[in-house]
Structure 1
Amino acid sequence: MPTDSEIACFEAGIKFGTLYHQFTGTPVDHESAPGLERAIEEAIENQPHCVEASVTIHEDRLDEAIDPAIGYTELQGPLMDAEIRVEYEGHGVLTKMELEDGYPRMYVASVEG
């Protein structure tokens, strides 16, 4: 049987799978980025055991990605960083997604309890 900490880590992984695969491809520009950040956070926080989600779409990365001919781009992992905190049976897990060598790396930052 998995431990409660392992279950909490698994739950955090599911949240990141949802964040990444549900929202990748969403049209985004500078005007819509803040609203999209909030929408993603709220959608992830609706899931069981999630106590906090934070998403940052980086303006400088967005500048480089926006196609001037159409005025927007599609949301992609390298454009954003995220943190998700999950609590399960007294165990807290902090997970992060950060750009590392051009790749949006997701990882467990800490496990408590």
Structure 2
Amino acid sequence: MTPTEAETACFEAGIKFGTLYHQFAGTPLSPESAESLGRAMEEAIENQPFCVDVQVTMRTDRIRDELAEMSAAYTEFTGRFADIEMVIEYEGTTVRTSMAMDGDYPMMRVDSVED
């Protein structure tokens, strides 16, 4: 069975999220470096085929809270430190996706599929 265009577009979105998350997980992070890391994530993932837009909103409030608890100067990037939205276009199908915390887990989801 050949995947539909919508299925392929959703697959592409999954590839982009997997790449974004696993490429940057563990990167040293501070409130001062958060915005530049967010821009680097956006620019890196936008290079991939079919990726139209990536918006990374760094949660510096969460970074500061963690650093205060640890009494440290930096921490490591994990999904709890960013809200992410991504738009993928494949053969006339647009997929809108997002990542946000669901309890303790960074949940990546398909928000809409538009033909």
Instruction: Report the TM range for the smaller structure's normalisation.
Output: over 0.9
Residue identity matched to 1:80: A
Aligned to 1:93: 95
Structure 1: distance between partners of 2:82 and 2:102: 12
| Structure 2 gaps, min length 5 | none
Aligned to 1:36: 37
Q: Tell whether 2:100 aligns with 1:68.
A: no
Q: Shift of residue 64 of structure 1?
A: 1.9
Aligned to 1:79: 81
SS in 1 for 2:32: coil
Deviations 1:12-40 (A, max 9, x none): 00000001100000001011111000000
Cα RMSD, aligned residues only? 0.9
What are the residue-to-residue correspondences of 1:9-20 with 2, within 5 Å?
9-20=10-21
Q: Shift of residue 102 of structure 1?
A: 2.0
SS in 2 for 1:40: helix
| Equivalent residues, number | 112
Structure 2: distance between partners of 1:41 and 1:33: 12
Aligned to 2:58: 57
Q: What TM-score, normalized by structure 2, do the two folds share?
A: 0.94
Structure 2: distance between partners of 1:27 and 1:82: 19
| Structure 1 gaps, min length 5 | none
Structure 2: distance between partners of 1:101 and 1:25: 20
